[in-house]
Every structure is written in structure tokens, then in C-alpha cells.
Amino acid sequence: MVVAQTTVIHAGRLIDVPGEAPRGPATIIVEDGRILSVTDGHSDVPADARVIDLRDHTVLPGLIDSHVHLTSDAGGLAGQLEAVTLSPAAQAFNAQANGIKTLRAGFTTVRNLGDGDGAVFALRDAVNAGKAMGPRIIDAGSSLSGTAGHSDDALGYRDELRPFFAGAANTCDGAEDCRRATRQQIGRGADVIKMTITGGVNSRIGAGLGSQMFDDEAAAIVATARMFGRKVAVHSHGADGTLQALKLGVDSIEHGTMLTDDVIALWAKSKTYYVPTLSTVNGYKERLAANSAAYEPDVLAKIQWRIGITGKTLQVLVPRGVRIAFGTDAGVSKHGRNADEFELMVENGMTPESALIAATINAADLLGLSEEIGTIAPGKSADIIAVAGDPLTDVSVYKDVQFVMARGKVIDLE
């Protein structure tokens, strides 16, 4: 008979439910990967329990990044080259390495929104089975788009290479074909459906950033996802695409860079989350600083526009009460530096407390995992982190997470 390992955490200060008043000294007891109890003060330790002394730290729930791409953080021409040179096995090793960086940064759960070769499916299943270290992963499989849309991975390659990219079967044209593509991603194992309804900054086609899906195509994807109990995340820059998505009642809009009065009014009345992905600008700036020719000219023009406009949507939507969920688009920015997003969120209108809520309670709700993660409470998964200092006054403390526990296991931060 295997005896369950009991772990006792003595916290100096506890933010067990972001948005509520922090607690002072507290004791958290963990057993079999679950939180057994949370009590005030530093209570006696059960015999043979492991004790973790965090009395000099602020303890809080594991963070959640709602938008990552784990297989790479190469961008521009380097990223395009990787797509045709790295095998699925190599991409899986990349995904695991990036997942470990993310976990050590305090992000114990991620939503992966794009994986053409199934590498992240494999990593998700290995983490769930205890065979690999990494964050809990909600995976979308391959992003859906029309042919020549933002997620058509054949863009920028010679015509005869298009069959090479057909295996993901993620491009669709017409409502019936979009039903097929959605079913195919679900059949591959997708936990959530990602749809790219507009053009994108990084896609290699001079077709702008407006809507690139007909109404019946987008509606077919959403209806099919709902039939199978899947949520829908929508990549959108252009206001026309965002309006399409809001009318369909999707679960989240990623980027949401352009707004109109109609979009703002509808979004304020909806339950659709906004995932800002402000960190993309860090990735762009760093690559361009290292190599001014990192991006092709048509992509570079869009990047320069994106750098200039990033944050403005958040500034408008926060006062209107739109729900915000934390997401970085890591892969465009560097993995392991997900916490940079907190500073950008605060710079663009959020409080440290609301930013933390976005990365815990809101993100857990968006991912459909509120019963499992997002707060520190009895019965929930023991996803717990600790920082020095006060994250409710200084979000930079998230850049140096001092302790990470994921599903009851203490993570080696070295």
C-alpha cells in the first residue's frame, strides 16, 4: 500500500482568491496533488510531512497563460525555415523545453493555440500521464482558416510545397468544408478550437488585417465546435472580423487590435473574453534589434503598425467592463518571459489586482477549469507559486518566481 505524501506550506502572506483581501500567515496542506486544507496561522505539522517554509513570501495560485505556441519562439524568416527543417520529433523536444521554461516562470497551465504536427498533443498527454515535466496544457491543434488566410501554413512557399502542409487539414473553404476541418481537429484531440478570422501580422501575404472568412464559414466552425462541447478562440485584428466573432458568441478574441463603436458596444454586453497578447511587441523589437532583416518587408510594415497600436484596445475595453484573460502569444515573444505581460497590462489601464485576476480566476474560467485551478482552495489542484514582495503593488515580482508547485509536485527552478 502506497502512503500519500503530505506537504505542508507555511505562507507568510496568502492570496488564495485573487480579488479578495489577502490573508496573513497561513498553512496549506497538500496531499496526492490536491489541496487538502487552507488555514490561518502556521499550524502544527503532521508527522512525516514535508514542510516548505515560505514565511518570507507571498503565496498565490499558479498562473495561467491563455495564448502560447510551445513548439518554437523563432520568428520571421527563421521561423519560416524551421517549419520545413524541423521534424515533428524535434518540435516535440522544443515544446517540452519551452514548456519547462514556462512552468519555471510560474505558469502552471497554458492554452496552446497552434500546433501543426501534433507535437503539443503528445506533450500534453505525456504531462498528464506523468511522463514529462511541463504545465497543464489545453491544446487547439492547428488553427483553422480559409485558404490564403493567416493560418494557411503554405503561405510564402513555392506552389509545389503546398501538399507538404496539407496534413494538418486546417484550411477550409465554404461552410461544409469548415465543418469538416473543425471535426478533423477535434478528431486529432483538440481541447479547444482556434479560428483565424482575419489576416495576421506574421502571415506572408499582402492581404491586410481585415476579415478573411465569410459569415457562413465562421458560423459553421463555431456551431461544429459547440456540437462537440469545445470552446472557440478567435484570432482577430480587424474590427470587421471581431464584430463577426462577437455576433457568434465566441469564447475569446485574441489580439483584437482594431475597434469601432459597434464593436465596443457589443463587446461590453457580451461574455466574450479579451486576450490582449501585448507581449508580442517585445518579441518583435528584440528580433529587429538583433537583425534588421529578420522579417520580409510586407511583414515588417505590419509589425511596425502593431508595435505602435498595441495596448490601445485594452485601454478602451477595461473601462467598459470587458472581461480580460491573460495571454502573451509566447512563441512570438520569448517563452519563459510570460510575466512581462503583467507590466504591459498595468501600463495600459489595468491594476495589479485585475491583472492577477486575469491570470488566475478569469483565465481558469475561459479554459473551463474553474473547478480545478485559479484559486487556492480545498479540493483543487495544488498549483501554487510564491514571490518575494507584494504583487498587488509591484507586478515586476512575477519576473522572479521563487517557488512553483504544479499538481502537488515541487518544480526544480534551476
Q: How far, in Å, CA of 186 to CA of 144, rounded?
A: 12
220 and 74 fall within a common domain: yes
- Does a structural domain hold residue 317? yes
- Is residue 18 domain-shared with residue 72, that is, in the same domain? no
Q: What share of the chain is helix, strand, coil (3-state, %, to 5)?
A: 35, 20, 40
Mean pLDDT of all residues in 330-352: 97
Q: Which residues pair with 109 in a beta bridge?
A: 64, 136
Helix runs in 348-396, H state only: 352-357, 363-366
Range of the domain at 122: 63-366
Mean pLDDT of 141-149: 94
The reply to whether 221 and 340 lie within a common domain is: yes
Domain shared by 70 and 28, yes or no: no
> In this structure, how many other beta carbons lie within 10 angstroms of the beta carbon of residue 212?
27
Q: Is residue 28 part of a domain?
A: yes
Instruction: Give the integer Cα–Cα distance in Å for 138 and 124.
Output: 8
Residues with Cβ within 8 Å of residue 406, at least 6 apart in sequence = 62, 103, 108, 135, 136, 382, 383
The domain spanning residue 286 has which CATH number? Answer: 3.20.20.140
Same domain for 249 and 319? yes
Q: CA triplet 96, 365, 228: central angle to 5 degrees?
A: 80
% of the chain with per-residue pLDDT over 70: 98
Query: pTM for the whole thing?
Result: 0.96
14: exposed, middle or buried (Cβ count in 10 Å: 0-12, 13-18, 19+) = buried
**Domain presence at residue 1:** no
Q: Give yes or no: residues 362 and 390 share one domain.
A: no
Q: Which three cell numbers stand for residue 131?
A: 511522463
> Is 191 part of a structural domain of the chain?
yes
What's the CATH number where 48 sits? Answer: 2.30.40.10
- Report d(CA 314, CA 275) in Å as an integer: 9
pLDDT surpasses 70 at 149? yes
171: number of Cβ within 10 Å: 23
Cβ atoms of 182 and 193 closer than 8 Å:
yes
Q: How many helices, marked H, and strands, marked E, lie in the chain?
A: 13, 14
Residues 29 and 74 in one domain: no
pLDDT at 185: 96
Distance (Å, whole) CA 276 – CA 266: 17
> In this structure, is residue 291 part of a structural domain?
yes
Tell whether 99 and 236 lie within a shared domain. yes
Q: Kindly indicate the confidence band of residue 167, based on its pLDDT and cuts at 50, 70 and 90.
A: low
Give the pLDDT score at 1: 43
Q: 349 in a domain, yes or no?
A: yes
Please give the tally of structural domains in the chain: 2
Could you tell me if 165 and 275 lie in one domain?
yes
Residues 53, 130, single domain; the answer is no
In a domain, 231, yes or no: yes
Q: How far, in Å, CA of 90 to CA of 135, rounded?
A: 19
Give yes or no: residues 91 and 216 share one domain. yes
Please indicate, yes or no, if residue 159 is contained in any of the structural domains. yes
Same-domain status, 235 and 328 = yes
